[in-house]
Amino acid sequence: MRLIDVRTIELRWFNDNEIPEYAILSHTWGADEVSYQELVWINRIKAFTASYDTPSSSVASLSSTQDDQSSVMLTAMETMLRTSTSFATNLSGVKEEDLLKRQGYAKIVNAAKEAQILGFQYIWIDTCCIDKSSSAELQEAINSMYRWYSDAEICIVYLEDVWPPSAGPDETRTASEVARHAFESSRWTKRGWTLQEIVAPVICRFYLRDWRLLGEKEEYIRELSAATSIPVFVLEDRRSVNEVSVAERMSWAAHRQTTRIEDLAYCLLGLFDIQMPLLYGEGSKAFIRLQEEILKTTDDYSLFAWCAQDATPATYRGLLARSPLEFRDCHSFEREESISTFPVNPTPIGLHIQLEALPHPTDKSRILALIRASNSLNQRLAISLKCLDGQAQYARVDAGELVPINDWPTGQLRTVYVRQSPSVPADFTTPEFSCFQIRRRFVNQRTPPVRIMSVFPRELWDSETHELRIPASAPKAFGVLLLRVQSHAYAHSLSFPVAFSFDRATCHYWIKAIPDYVAPEGL
C-alpha cells in the first residue's frame, strides 16, 4: 500500500504487515488532479534540488564555474527524470511550478495538513497513491478499496463544491440545516465511488471548500442518511451492512454516476464483499458479472427485485438487472430468512435456479416466482416468468413491476433456466406481443453493413432496443422500416423498405421486403 508522508508530501510503500495508522481522503475528482507519476516527478525534483542546496554562508564563495556545473547537472538530472522509463505517462513539457499551482496539488497539501493536525503521519489519496498506468495495480487497488477505507483511522471528506455559510445576520439556518444542504447539494453524495467511502470508515470528518470543518459523521448522521438513503443503523455500525438485503444495497447506488460505465459495478464490490477481475471495455456487462458473483456468495434472491423503466408486455428479460437504476424503488425491501439448498448455476442455456412458484391467475404459460423478499407492507414479492419452450426455458415478463402477494402462501418448487438475453423461438406466438424487434441473426465479414434510415410510426420506435412498439389497445398494427445496405465491393448502396403487420386476434404477423422500391434523392 502506498501512503503519503504528511510532512514531506512524499510517497512511501508499505507491505501489508507493515502498514502504519493512516488517514484517508474521500473527495470528488476534478479536471486538474495530480497523478502518481506527477507526484513522483515533483518529489524527485525536490529531492535533487535539495541535495544541491548549500548553506547561505558559503554561497558567496561559489565560483562561477561551480555555478555553471551545478546548472548543467540540474539540467541533466531533469532530462534524465523526464525520460525515465519507469514513468508510463509522458511528462515532457510539464513544469514543476505548473503542477504545484494545480488545485489537485493544493487538495493533497491541505488534506495532509489536516491529517497532521489530527495526529497522523500518513494519508492515502486515490488520485496519486495508485499507479493507474499499471492494470495489475489498479485492479488490486479497486478490489482493496473498501478494506482500505475500513482500516483507516479517520476519513477526511472534502466537499469541494460546498461553500461555507455566510456569517452575516441574514444567515438563519441551524447547523443541521447547513449540513443537510451540504449533503444534498454536493457531488460527493451523487458519485458512485463515494458510496463505499460513506459506509466503510468508522469516523468521517467533513470539510467545506475552504477547508473549514463542517462536523463529524456522528453529529449529522440523520442528515447524511436522508441525503443518501443509507439507513442510520448502517452509518452507525458498518458491520450491519450485511443485514441489509442485496436489493436495498443496490438501491443506494441507483442515482449515482461514474465516468466509466463499468465503474457502476466496480464501485460496489466492497459493499458485497466481492473480488472480481476488471475488464474495462466490457460496458454494462460488468454489472451483470457483479450480480453473477453475488449469487455465488448469497441466497438472497432480492437481487431479482429490480424493475425496468420502459418495460412493455413485449419486453422479455433475464433475471439480472442492467444497471443499479433498476433498483431505484428497492430501498425498503427485506430478505426472508429461508435458506436455499439449491445452488444457482450459470449454464449455456441460462441461469439454472430453483424458485418457489405460484400459478399465474390468467395465463397457464406463466408462473409467479417468489423471490424470498418482502416490501414495507409485509407482502411477499414475486416476478412473472413465462415459459418459452413448453419445458424449462423461461424469461421474465412484465419486467416493469413486481407482484405483491398477501397472506404469505407457500408455492411449489420449480427448477427453471433463464437466459439473460432470452432467445424467443421462431414459432413462438402470443397475443401479448406488442413490438417488432429488429436484429441481425448472422454477422460476418462478408455481410454488408445495414443501417436503419427511418421508421414509421416514428413515435413508437425505441432506438436503444431496436423495437417498434405496438400499443396494447391496438387490435392491429402496421409499420415500415427504411433500410440501407452499403456494399464494400461496389461503389453504391441499396435502400429499400421492410413492411410488417400484426393481428392481435389471430396472433398472425407478416413481414415483407420491397426490393423494387426507388429511394428519394439524398437517401
* Angle made by CA atoms 473, 474, 477, in degrees to the nearest 5: 155
Q: 50 pLDDT band (50/70/90 cuts)? A: low
- pLDDT tens sequence across 60-73: 444 555 555 555 55
Instruction: Kindly report the backbone phi and psi dihedral angles of residue 222, in degrees, each rounded to the nearest multiple of 5, phi listed first.
Output: -75, -35
**Residue with more model confidence, 462 or 61:** 462
pLDDT above 50 (res 58): no
pLDDT at position 46: 79
pLDDT above 70 (res 451): yes
Over range 426-449, report the average pLDDT.
60
Per the CB < 8 A criterion, the answer to whether 268 and 291 are in contact is no
Tell me the C-alpha distance between 193 and 156, whole Å: 15
pLDDT above 50 (res 304): yes
Tell me the C-alpha distance between 349 and 394, whole Å: 10
Per the CB < 8 A criterion, the answer to whether 371 and 381 are in contact is yes
Poorest-pLDDT segment among 62-71, 109-118, 215-224, 481-490: 62-71
Poorest-pLDDT segment among 33-37, 54-58, 489-493: 54-58
What CA–CA distances, in Å, run from 240 to 234, 237, 249? 6, 6, 12
pLDDT at position 66: 55
pLDDT above 70 (res 505): yes
Give the number of other CB atoms < 10 A from CB of residue 330. 27
* Angle made by CA atoms 376, 382, 384, in degrees to the nearest 5: 145
pLDDT at position 398: 92
Q: What DSSP string describes 378-434?
A: --EEEEEEEESSSSSEEEEESTT--EEESS----EEEEEEE-SS----TT---TT--
Q: Give the residue among 511, 361, 505, 510 at the shortest CA–CA distance from 431.
A: 505
Over range 12-17, report the average pLDDT.
95
How much of the chain exceeds pLDDT 70, in percent? 83
| CA dihedral sign of residues 283, 284, 287, 289 | negative
pLDDT at position 85: 43
pLDDT above 50 (res 346): yes
Over range 237-249, report the average pLDDT.
95
Pairing of strands 154-158, 204-207: parallel
Poorest-pLDDT segment among 124-133, 401-410, 426-435: 426-435
* Grid cell locating 328: 431505484
Poorest-pLDDT segment among 99-113, 139-153, 440-454: 440-454
Over range 293-299, report the average pLDDT.
94
pLDDT at position 88: 39
pLDDT above 80 (res 447): no
- pLDDT tens sequence across 164-193: 987 666 677 899 999 999 999 999 999 999
pLDDT above 50 (res 475): yes
pLDDT above 80 (res 369): yes
Q: 266 pLDDT band (50/70/90 cuts)? A: very high
Mean pLDDT of the chain: 86
pLDDT above 50 (res 87): no
Tell me the C-alpha distance between 218 and 236, whole Å: 7
